[in-house]
Amino acid sequence: MSDLLVSPEVFHNQPCLRLRHPGGDTVLVALHGAHVLSWTSGGVERLYLSPQAVFDGQAAIRGGVPVCFPQFNMRGPLPKHGFARTTAWTANPDGSLDLHSSPTTLALWPHAFSARLHIVLEPGVLQLVFSVHNTGDQPLDFALALHTYLQVQSLPTLLLHGLQGQPYWDDVAQTQRQQTGPVGFDAETDRVYQAAAHPLELVDGLQRLQIAQSPNLPNTVVWNPGSTKCASIADMPADGYQHMLCVEAGQVDTPITVAAGAAWTGWQRLSVV
């Protein structure tokens, strides 16, 4: 947006951009991975960033919004969640960030492309818009997840509404299920839902957050590691699971295909209710 103030900033020795809205909301995004690290709205931090996250310009950063592209998790031959989240992006004056194919990416994934993460910041709203342009002469297939870590106050009473009736793959139980009622969190949760046709609502005490995604992202991933798994994650504190919930917009079950010369755009939108 033209009324955003965009300025360079250094955070944990990493180059970043700070986006400020005249209304007071701010976003901090690292050039490493085009990784959104912070979104404050109404003076409240809305994203979870692990206090043990690694900022070495090489490893993925734990928390915020990692961009998982062009692979989700270990579902393919690339490093986990692809290479976008561990690659340096280029900053633009409007606060968007670009990633282009290079000898390094081509050695991993033989496709010419350009990608952009555009950040829309409005009062009480953060929208992340991810686009891919196929600059090669063959179709390219990719998976995508905007791996959003939301900061929560009370995991035991947290409820995610809007997925009632939706089928999902339960990666903990290794079975296909259907959601009944709102999603609660009393154990490890790792699910890939068929996305709902309407926005979700996360109810966290007195705070409410609406979560929407573009219709061309047909999966919603919901993840919380629970106590046992969290204790084994090196870049999270043992109690970190109590303060975060991932609600991700993505396409992970089947690839997105972009024809030669064509482009694709998808988004996730978070709104304080």
Among 249, 234, 226, 17, which Cα is nearest to 147's? 249
Other beta carbons within 10 angstroms of residue 184's beta carbon come to: 13
Specify the 3-state DSSP secondary structure of 241. Answer: helix
Q: Assign a CATH topology to domain 5-153+189-197+212-272.
A: Beta-galactosidase; Chain A, domain 5 (2.70.98)
Q: Which string of b and e fits 87-105 if b means at least 16 CB within 10 Å?
A: bbbebeeebbbebebeeeb
Q: Is 201 a catalytic residue?
A: no
Q: Specify the pLDDT at position 73.
A: 87
Specify the 3-state DSSP secondary structure of 164. Answer: coil
Look up residue 32 and give its DSSP letter: B
Contact 121, 129 (CB under 8 A): no
Q: Which uninterrupted H or E stretch holds 5?
A: strand 5-11
Q: Is 248 a catalytic residue?
A: yes
pLDDT in tens, the chain (273 residues): 458 999 999 999 999 999 999 999 999 999 999 999 999 999 999 999 999 999 999 999 999 999 999 999 888 889 899 999 999 999 999 999 999 999 999 999 999 999 999 999 999 999 999 999 999 999 999 999 999 999 999 999 999 999 999 999 999 999 999 999 999 999 999 999 999 999 999 999 999 999 999 999 999 999 999 999 999 999 999 999 999 999 999 999 899 999 999 999 999 999 999
pTM: 0.97
Domain boundaries, the chain: 5-153+189-197+212-272
Among 210, 213, 163, which Cα is nearest to 189's? 163
Active-site entry in 32, 35, 111, 147? 147
